[in-house]
Structure 1
Amino acid sequence: MTSAPAVPQTARYTWGGDEFLFVEIAEDMSLAANFKANAMATLLGEEDIAGVTDICPANASLLIRFDPDVVPPSELESAVRALEDQVVHASSRVLETRVIEVPVWYDDPYTNETGARFRKGHQRPEGNDLDFAAEENNLESAAEFIRRHHESAWLVSMVGFVAGLPFMFQIVPQEEQLEVPKYLSPRTDTPALTVGHGGCFACIYSVRGAGGYQMFGIAAAPIFDPAQRLEDFRDFMIFFRPGDIVKFRPVEEAEYLDIQAQVEAGAYRYRQAPVTFDLERALDNPAQYNKDIMEQLNGV
């Protein structure tokens, strides 16, 4: 069975001014801690407590914004503690979510050009970020790193930093996780839809801007659509949700450009399928669980 940081039975509850309740589930990110954050957020949303205005699950915590004139702080804390107890003592630990295929042009010219402009702020001035990532993970080549990156599933642990940016945690045994340090000095530029990596987390930059994660490629389709032109954004301008499971799929330039054309025409749809995320199965046999999750996309 995969070892993971222990998750305390009871979280730490603190207040942020008059309008925020912060629930710290664990100091370290783990599948178990993140599952607890998402499960509590889901249950709290279903409770539909008057006065609760925002529910924001993160890597290993939960932030709740509320109106103290509508729901007293002590009443809210009691309700959230009851939900935590419900999650801790649940007979099964599952979440209904979805698995999504994300096409990525790895080792693309856009991120390579950007990386070349910022080598002075990088640990390895020669080569590119993929070369550095391969070395850091004791892999033979950048191609081997890319294979390891797209052959496993990634759990969206939280969404934030900038609008729509997903942080993703690899569903593999801890000793097999890809880990890469951030740039020594952050960049002032990162192409929109860059697939990045810092520490143990992958991400997709939703918009162009500053950044410090290593850059491995560029996603072919948007993940943030303020105009909500595409069907996948009909309900909300932000595509990813905490608890989503991502499967990166490598594409070459021709397919990347074809997808871009579909986006421009308003016709692109992400391949996705509903899936039940089972924490125990993910911890017991992550390799097999990865295969089982990926099979959900067959026929979509």
Structure 2
Amino acid sequence: MANNPIRYSFGGDEHLFAEIDQSMSLKAFFHGLTLTRALEACQLPGVLDICLANASFQVRFNPDVLAPQTLLDTLQALEADSEGDTTLATRIIEVPVLYNDPWTHETLMRFRDRHQAPEGSDLDYAAQINGYADKDDFIAAHSGTPWFVSMVGFVAGLPFMYQMVEHDKQLQVPKYLRPRTDTPALSLGHGGCFGCIYSVRGAGGYQLFGITPMPIYDPTQHLPYLQSEMVFFKAGDIVQFRAIDHQTYDDISEQVKKGMFSPRIREVTFVLADFVADPQGYPQLLKRGLYDHQCD
């Protein structure tokens, strides 16, 4: 499964940009993740930041410590060594979601003048344009297959996610015509083919489908699963949404307040070739690994 050559370009004196592909795909994401992890492992003096995106990445470096050509040569050598590497040791995480919740519903209805279909909700619109009979069928499709975290950013801790389905089954929903000035924290959003979880309250333009009681960014780090890192998600994580009812949402919220909540997490190995060979069955195998460890 050979990769296309990466296009490198320098931005000013301190940045090297790498364009892996012109569009997002699991193959492009894998290539970028492999290279950025390999570069991080090199521990080159002068590398300040490595920022992975959906089909590209950027490296910020100190040119007084690390010569630009040395950085470029290193990346090109790593690129040559990474050909055919399609295995990823990662984790799958269950994220509980109250779909069609009252808080995001109130917010999205406040901003209908900025929406393509002001007569309904965001879930109604998403179901219609994706060919589903109603929002319940759309929710089933949204939560039925795991998602890859392809990058983290925009605001602190916000994960962008790409569903592990064939290209023609991707859920596609455009962003609002004009962004909202308010979005509840921990809202589940969707724009284009990407899902996200808004880590903090603020502006946003993605369609709103629900909300999770599970914090994903906490500078106080009082929850067990956030004690090592205040930002929970990492590129390469696999997310499985679990639809919950209002009572379960309240129960988990109470556990969060008491500092007792921890999400269900399992270590898994994702093999891109296995997904390509069986794009419907392989994600379900990973999903079952959350509950019975049968994820080989």
Query: If the TM-score is normalised by the length of the shorter chain, which range does it land in?
Result: over 0.9
Q: CA deviation at 1:7?
A: 8.1
Corresponding position of 1:60: 55
Q: CA deviation at 1:8?
A: 5.3
* Aligned with 1:248 (options 236, 241, 258): 241
* Aligned with 1:191 (options 175, 179, 184): 184
Q: CA deviation at 1:56?
A: 1.2
Cα distance in 1 between the residues matched to 2:228 and 2:38:
21
Asked if the contact 1:7/1:26 (under 8 Å) is kept, the reply is no
Question: Which segment drifts farther, 60-69 or 192-201?
Answer: 60-69
Corresponding position of 2:162: 169
Question: Which segment drifts farther, 281-290 or 6-15?
Answer: 6-15
* Aligned with 1:31 (options 23, 26, 46): 26
Partner-residue secondary structure (3-state), 1:135: helix
Partner-residue secondary structure (3-state), 1:286: coil
Cα distance in 2 between the residues matched to 1:187 and 1:146:
23
Matched, 1:275 2:268: yes
Partner-residue secondary structure (3-state), 2:242: strand
Matched, 1:51 2:38: no
* Aligned with 2:35 (options 40, 55, 63): 40
Q: CA deviation at 1:188?
A: 0.4
AA matched with 1:26: D
Cα distance in 1 between the residues matched to 2:285 and 2:196:
23
Partner-residue secondary structure (3-state), 2:204: coil
* Aligned with 1:77 (options 36, 57, 72): 72
Corresponding position of 1:3: none
* Aligned with 2:95 (options 92, 102, 108): 102
Matched, 1:112 2:105: yes
Cα distance in 2 between the residues matched to 1:292 and 1:48:
35
Partner-residue secondary structure (3-state), 2:233: coil
Let me know the Cα RMSD of the aligned residues. Answer: 1.3
**Aligned residues with identical type, % of pairs:** 50
Cα distance in 1 between the residues matched to 2:16 and 2:275:
30
* Aligned with 1:145 (options 131, 138, 145): 138
Corresponding position of 2:117: 124
Cα distance in 1 between the residues matched to 2:39 and 2:277:
28
Matched, 1:12 2:39: no
Question: Which segment drifts farther, 40-49 or 247-256?
Answer: 40-49
Cα distance in 2 between the residues matched to 1:57 and 1:37:
7
AA matched with 1:44: L
Corresponding position of 2:216: 223
Corresponding position of 1:287: 280
Cα distance in 1 between the residues matched to 2:86 and 2:2:
14
Asked if the contact 1:8/1:26 (under 8 Å) is kept, the reply is no
Question: Which segment drifts farther, 131-140 or 66-75?
Answer: 66-75
Question: Which segment drifts farther, 15-24 or 103-112?
Answer: 15-24
Q: CA deviation at 1:9?
A: 2.1
Cα distance per residue 1:84-138 (max 9 Å; x no partner): 11112x3x41111100000000000001000110001111111210000000101
How does the TM-score come out when normalised to structure 2?
0.96
Cα distance in 2 between the residues matched to 1:105 and 1:98:
23
Asked if the contact 1:27/1:60 (under 8 Å) is kept, the reply is yes
Q: Moved runs in structure 1, 4+ residues, more than 3 A?
A: none
In structure 1, list runs of 5 or more residues that go unmatched.
Answer: 1-5
Asked if the contact 1:7/1:32 (under 8 Å) is kept, the reply is no
Cα distance in 2 between the residues matched to 1:230 and 1:7:
42
Q: CA deviation at 1:217?
A: 0.1
Asked if the contact 1:7/1:33 (under 8 Å) is kept, the reply is no
AA matched with 1:50: P
Cα distance per residue 1:151-209 (max 9 Å; x no partner): 00100010011111100001001111111111111100000000000010000000001
* Aligned with 2:153 (options 130, 148, 160): 160
Cα distance in 2 between the residues matched to 1:82 and 1:296:
36
Q: CA deviation at 1:43?
A: 0.8
